[in-house]
Structure 1
């Protein structure tokens, strides 16, 4: 093959290889709510999550660390919409954008280095029942971060549990920590 023939073939192969590396982050927010570039806090990136939806999350904490069982009984569970800003924040606080179980004190210690922004208006809250179960309803389709503090029933250091969950097609999505 000549150089003129090889170059287009190599360029196409390189483009295909780069496309294979593109991460998939779940469904995009509904149209009209495109993510911003970078990871700066922008309230507009959260707007999709304020819509009413038919989806929901049915969750349970059944977390064990060795023989120690953890419970979120009567603890708050928060649900934060996924945006470029929250992905960066989860990576800094939990070391992951998918799921984590970290000592609560370690997460609190990392908070000053996480990106700041007032996203409280976009956070949904509920409480775990006595059996460590919780539910969120009326959610639009999209990706979310569920977060709670779980403790051993006899007391002890709490763990901050975080898990990414996607709601789709107006269904109740199961979530287990």
Structure 2
């Protein structure tokens, strides 16, 4: 196991491209402290991810959107990240829900690419993942729109899906906002 030190800071300071950063840190296995501002030291454990590294026969379809003043705004053009629901990722999601994210080291861990999947929302906010291993997953995306003088507004969404039956559908909306 390799130990990598991290520190936390608020979600609002992260640029849009850092969405994947949360998940790059998530392949660590020791439990971080519950204090979102405390330093983290997290260990990577490949044994958690082995079953998610290979393609499978499952499919996950979904849609993501937020509501604003009576309008439904889809995640058009935004990346959608799918990552296994393992103990390591559960801890990272817990931190995200606390509005904290680990700061990653400069070098990313390529092992994560074997377990994380990516898609893009279409104009209606729909997305699909095919050839997944059957199992439990976290789904992450963002919804952004221009609000005039306020600039870009919106929110990050995290949901859960289970492809154990071979197919699954997930809807991410205001209830999944972090």
TM-score scaled by length of structure 1: 0.62
In the alignment, structure 1 segments of 5+ residues that lack a partner are 1-35, 96-106
Deviations 1:13-63 (A, max 9, x none): xxxxxxxxxxxxxxxxxxxxxxx9854431221111112211111100133
Which of 51, 58, 61 aligns to 1:55? It is: 58
The answer to whether residue 85 in structure 2 is matched with residue 85 in structure 1 is: no
Deviations 1:77-136 (A, max 9, x none): 0001111110001000124xxxxxxxxxxx5xx22379xx83344211011111110000
CA contact (8 A) 2:29 2:44 kept: no
| CA pair 68-151 structure 1, distance change in 2 beyond 3 A | farther
Decide which structure has greater strand share. Answer: 2
Which of 70, 86, 89 aligns to 2:73? It is: 70
Q: What SS is found at the alignment partner of 1:151?
A: strand
CA contact (8 A) 2:29 2:45 kept: no
Count of residue correspondences: 128
Moved over 6 A (4+): none
Which of 103, 118, 130 aligns to 1:137? It is: 130
In the alignment, structure 2 segments of 5+ residues that lack a partner are 1-27, 32-42, 173-178
| CA pair 66-166 structure 1, distance change in 2 beyond 3 A | farther
In our comparison, the structure showing a higher alpha carbon Rg is: 1
Q: For 2:89 and 2:64, how far apart are their aligned partners in 1?
A: 22
Aligned-residue CA RMSD (Å): 2.8
State the partner residue of 2:164: 168
Decide which structure has greater helix share. Answer: 1
Larger RCO (alpha carbons 8 Å, 6+ apart): 1
Q: For 2:171 and 2:64, how far apart are their aligned partners in 1?
A: 6
Q: For 1:79 and 1:153, how far apart are their aligned partners in 2?
A: 26
State the partner residue of 2:102: 112
